[in-house]
Amino acid sequence: MPPRFADDAPDARDLHVLTPGQLDDWLTAQPDAIAGWVRDMGFDGGLGQALALPGEAGGIGMALAGYGTEASRQRDRFALAAAAARLPAGTYRIASGLPDADAANEALGWLLASYRFDRYKAQGPMKAALVAPAGIDVARIEAIVAGECLTRDLINTPAQDMGPDSLQAATEALAAEFGAVIETVVGDDLLQQNFPMIHAVGRAATRAPRLMDMRWGDEGPSLTLVGKGVCFDTGGLNLKPGASMGLMKKDMGGAATVLGLARMIMATGLKLRLRVLIPAVENNVSGDSFRPGDILTSRKGLTVEINNTDAEGRLVLADALALADEEEPDLVVSMATLTGAARVAVGPDLAPFYATSDLMAAQLSDAAGACADPVWRMPFWDPYEAKIEPGIADLDNAPSGGFAGSITAALFLRRFVEASGDYLHFDIYGWQPASAPARPKGGTGQGARALLDALPRLLSL
């Protein structure tokens, strides 16, 4: 079960959230014994500090959480979650100190910090539970947490148990939960229904490639989400070094994030027509692998020269994006763990995105800042179009030279979205390299919460 807020109860403990600047005033109002205890224990309101205070009848009476300075909070997200992880077992209610403007994000962070991936090994639960602060939208926050937990679970599951068939099963389970309709095209039927590049990338694997197509909602503007579902990426015949394969279970992080976002949209009941397309493949090596030098013909009819079989994500996305574009939705969003160049540019914490509309980019960036889901706009830089045009075919899947790899990949994808209203592309990492407040090491969603918050403006809902 995804983490949820605790019910308020008589035994819930008051939690006072304090910055260093607030501490002296708070201590002045306390009995000498409490003030002395706080000082002797070295609590100074620093970011992530937690301190339990004794009650009159023994045991814990209340607790303090350090909220740090504004400067320290600027260096990370979810300050309250850092303290929550250090609190003793029990249920806590916010009694003072947490600004109303921060309550929703900090409550979200507390629940996200409670996430555990325990499919293969029991994990100790987070000891401290939170009563929802007054004034927040409890149902919305719990829906967001459930969507993020779905994303994390899918990414964290190793490829042995999260191949294309398992990703299909997860998508079908989500559709069944919310009354969505899903169709899936599998194996050689991809050729019959004109998805040649999805088939080419996935044909070498024993688990057949497929395309999932899920629909939900029958009123409002149309939104199509496309997620890269490469369940494991060996690199194909351009084989990755062993060290580079270690995290390739996360190469379906785009699909996982799209499914998490779809869950948030459906659970919050946004009035739109949602379509989710997930090309699911494994990029494996066999006698049937596609080869460097091959020229593939896409669903759109554009030909693609294969100069590196390890640049497979854009191939499967291209066929799915071409299908999405045929319906001319108001907005198409693709999410993919697509390029190492994006990680070099912005690291693992930021989600780079590309937008065909300056207004939409600004609206998304504003929403990201407000909901602590950081994004960074990258350019669809038209002068680089020539880099993806090899001469022998319409497009090159892996331009030489090594420059602007994330941008050229985005330009490649944009060629397949021409009739739709607007297009957003996210080149995400989908992985938390080291544990941080509310983000344990492992799979993580990026950009989904920002999109959820921005959609009412992006689509005039």
Catalytic residues: 240, 314
Closest Cα partner for 229 from 215, 213, 242, 240?
A: 213
CB 78 within 8 A of CB 113: yes
Q: Specify whether the CB–CB gap between 395 and 303 falls below 8 A.
A: yes
Q: What gap in Å lies between CA 172 and CA 196, rounded to an integer?
A: 23
| Crossing angle of helices 164-178 and 138-156, rounded to 10° | 160
The C-alpha atoms of residue 27 and residue 281 are separated, in whole angstroms, by 59
Residues 6+ apart with CB under 8 A from 438: 77, 78, 81, 108, 109, 110, 112, 113
Contacts of 232 (CB under 8 A, 6+ apart): 159, 163, 248, 249, 251, 282, 283, 284
For the record, the structure tokens of 410 come out as: 């985005």
Helix (H) or strand (E) holding 412, with range, is: helix 405-414
Which amino acid appears at position 366 of this protein?
D
What is the rounded distance in angstroms from the CA atom of residue 116 to the CA atom of residue 104? 21
Strand partners, 184: 212
Residue type, 225: L
Q: Measure the CA–CA gap between 350 and 215, rounded to whole angstroms.
A: 29
Are β-strands 331-336 and 222-227 bridged in parallel, bridged antiparallel, or unpaired?
A: parallel
